[in-house]
């Protein structure tokens, strides 16, 4: 029985050329090619590390996008998922985690954004004095209750 040396299929005696590969048949198959030796696994530290805390969801996703554009994979975690039901999502803090091997580079990438965010929060701190903050929370709660 003839064999195709390329696809290693067996055919009937009357077949002279493999219909799939177009290669001439041989009587015996050559030794199968040896698979390449497995590459040594790179040493990879798969532990994650907290590198930053974003003040709200939009900022967290913006920072995550910046990290991804720089080739750094990250994980976002809300600080308190239970509170999400009772508060605005824009008021939730998000922790940003990266692999330990990329943590230093990620901190360098995010440092200008964290600094500008701190300056923005500090400059906007007294826009809503405490009484109006309480008023906003009361309006939000009344809206949630459906009143």
Which pLDDT tens digit goes with each residue over 85-95?
555 555 678 89
Spatial contact of 52 and 72, defined as CB atoms under 8 Å apart: no
Q: Where in the chain are the domains?
A: 1-29, 48-127
Spatial contact of 16 and 24, defined as CB atoms under 8 Å apart: yes
pTM for this prediction: 0.49
Helix ranges (H only) for the chain are 57-69, 103-123, 130-145
**Residues near 127 by beta carbon (within 8 Å), at least 6 away in sequence:** none
CATH of the domain spanning 48-127:
3.30.70
Mind listing the pLDDT tens digit for each residue in 38-97? Answer: 655 555 557 889 999 888 888 889 999 999 999 999 999 887 666 555 555 556 788 999
């Amino acid at each position: 029985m003839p064999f195709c040396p390329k696809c290693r299929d067996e055919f009937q005696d009357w077949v002279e050329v493999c219909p799939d590969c177009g290669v001439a048949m041989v009587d015996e198959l050559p030794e199968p090619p040896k698979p390449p030796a497995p590459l040594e696994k790179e040493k990879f530290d798969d532990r994650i590390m907290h590198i930053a805390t974003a003040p709200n969801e939009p900022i967290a996703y913006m920072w995550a996008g910046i990290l991804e554009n720089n080739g750094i994979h990250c994980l976002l975690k809300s600080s308190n998922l239970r509170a999400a039901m009772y508060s605005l999502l824009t008021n939730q803090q998000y922790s940003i985690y990266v692999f330990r091997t990329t943590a230093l580079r990620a901190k360098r990438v995010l440092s200008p954004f964290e600094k500008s965010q701190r300056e923005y929060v500090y400059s906007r701190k007294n826009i809503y004095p405490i009484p109006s903050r309480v008023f906003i929370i009361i309006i939000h709660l009344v809206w949630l209750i459906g009143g």
